[in-house]
Amino acid sequence: MRRYRFVLVRPFQLIPVLFGISVITFVLVRLIPGDPARILLGTRATPTAIANIRAQYGLDEPIWVQYLYFLKNLAAGEMGKSTLYKVDTLKLIVTRIEPTLALVVAGVVLALVIAVPFAAISARRQGTAADHAIRIVSTAGIGFPSFWLGAMLIILFAVRLDWLPVSGYGDSLGDKLLHLILPGLTIALSLSAVITRSLRAGMIAGLSSDVAVAARARGMPESVVFWRHVVPNALVPTVNLLAINVGWLIGGTVVVESVFAVPGLGQLMVRGIFSRDYMVVQGVALTFAVATVLINFLADVVTVALDPRVEL
């Protein structure tokens, strides 16, 4: 259990990291050109009305005073009132977090479902037609942008074949899952390409490693050699690669959510940016940052679980 002690220690070490992230997002949002009050009231607003709104949302204060208000609100469980939605940003985020989370999880699960068998076939039949075919599909997965890929999937599976819904996010669980397939697949196709390449390389190295030769010399069948002695060792470096990509993916859901009209954080972010809704933008950015930090923490836990040599 000593190896897992970092699970207790690490959250405290993350406090300064999160503090730094909050400062950066807070300042960056305010660097976006445009005045939220003016955008909220439209072009014909009087200067008095604008000044009122600015005072109401605290926008007339110096930036560091605004930041202190932000911290004070955060301590009280609030992220500041959205100028666009007129409710607290934290409430908005809580209602929007589920679709995004579900989308990311669907993307990662589908990516693994694709990548592990693909990598296994590729590694065990290195240089064959199957290996080349998988390489081509993988390269294509990396090459096509997700907005194009998503649109193509909609045309094929939703419009032509009419198997799956075009867009949106359902109400019941089954309906939600159905709605998640196409956006999840869009994410998975590019994500799985990266994972397949990494896993394949690790598996090929593992198949000719001393561990594999020694296992064969003990009379282990090739399937045992592969799944018990090669794959677990190849997974270790892939976990970190996956964590890096998922961190990047969370920001990337903005595009996929737009294409499939999934009412998640990405969509909220886009609306927030267009209306200079500072509270929403910084709130969502902070949420993304926290999620990325948590995913890397999770990856560390998984790495420790997979590899007994790792001490953190």
Partner 1 sequence: MIVAEDLPPGAATAPDTPVLSVQGLAVSVRADGAERPLVEDLSFTLRRGETLAIAGESGSGKSITSLAIMGLLPPPAVRASAGRVMFGAKDLLRLGEAGMRRIRGDRIAMIFQEPMTSLNPVMTIGAQLIEALREHEAISRAEARALALAALKSVRIAQPERRLDQYPHELSGGMRQRVMIAMALALKPDVLIADEPTTALDVTVQREVLDLLRDLQRDMGTAIILITHDMGVVAEMAERVIVMRGGRMVEQGTVGQIFGAPREAYTRELLAAVPRMGDGARRPGLSAPETTPPLVARLDRVDVRFDIRGGFLGRVTHRVHAVERVSFDIRAGETFALVGESGCGKSTIARAIAGLVPHEGHLEVAGRPLKGLDAAGRKAIRRQVQIVFQDPMAALDPRMRAGEAVAEPLVIHGIGTEAERRARAADLFARVGLPPEAVERYPHEFSGGQRQRICIARALALNPRLIICDESTSALDVSVQARVLDLLEALKREFGIAYLFISHDMAVVENIADRLAVMYLGQIVEMGTRAQIFGNPRHPYTRRLIEAVPVPDPAHVRPPGPRLSGEVPSPIHPVGRGPQRLVLRDVGGGHLVAADAVAEGVAA
Q: Site residues (CB under 8 A) for partner 1?
A: 9, 12, 208-211, 213-222, 224, 228-229, 232-233, 236, 306-309
Closer residue to partner 1 in complex, CB, 167/303: 303
Closer residue to partner 1 in complex, CB, 214/294: 214
Closer residue to partner 1 in complex, CB, 215/256: 215
Query: What is the distance between the alpha carbons of residues 292 and 244, in angstroms, rounded to a whole number?
Result: 8
Smallest separation (angstroms) from partner 1 to the CB of 210: 4
Closer residue to partner 1 in complex, CB, 164/220: 220
Smallest separation (angstroms) from partner 1 to the CB of 129: 16
Closer residue to partner 1 in complex, CB, 34/232: 232
CA distances from 17 to 20, 24, 260 (A): 5, 11, 33
Is 229 in contact with 212 (CB distance < 8 Å)?
Answer: yes
Smallest separation (angstroms) from partner 1 to the CB of 214: 4
Smallest separation (angstroms) from partner 1 to the CB of 224: 7
CA distances from 248 to 147, 191, 244 (A): 16, 10, 6
Other beta carbons less than 10 A from residue 136's beta carbon: 9
Mutual orientation of helices 231-260 and 173-207 as an angle, nearest 10°?
140
Other beta carbons less than 10 A from residue 123's beta carbon: 24
Burial of 266 (0-12, 13-18, 19+ CB in 10 A): buried
Smallest separation (angstroms) from partner 1 to the CB of 232: 5
The terminus-to-terminus CA distance of the chain in angstroms comes to 12
Smallest separation (angstroms) from partner 1 to the CB of 310: 10
Helices (H) and strands (E) counted in the chain, each on its own, are 13, 0
Closest to 239 in 3D by CA, of 184, 304, 190, 186:
304
CA distances from 38 to 35, 60, 143 (A): 5, 13, 41
Smallest separation (angstroms) from partner 1 to the CB of 113: 23
Query: Which structure tokens are listed for 265?
Result: 């954080």
Closer residue to partner 1 in complex, CB, 52/209: 209
Report the amino acid identity of residue 14: L
Closer residue to partner 1 in complex, CB, 71/211: 211
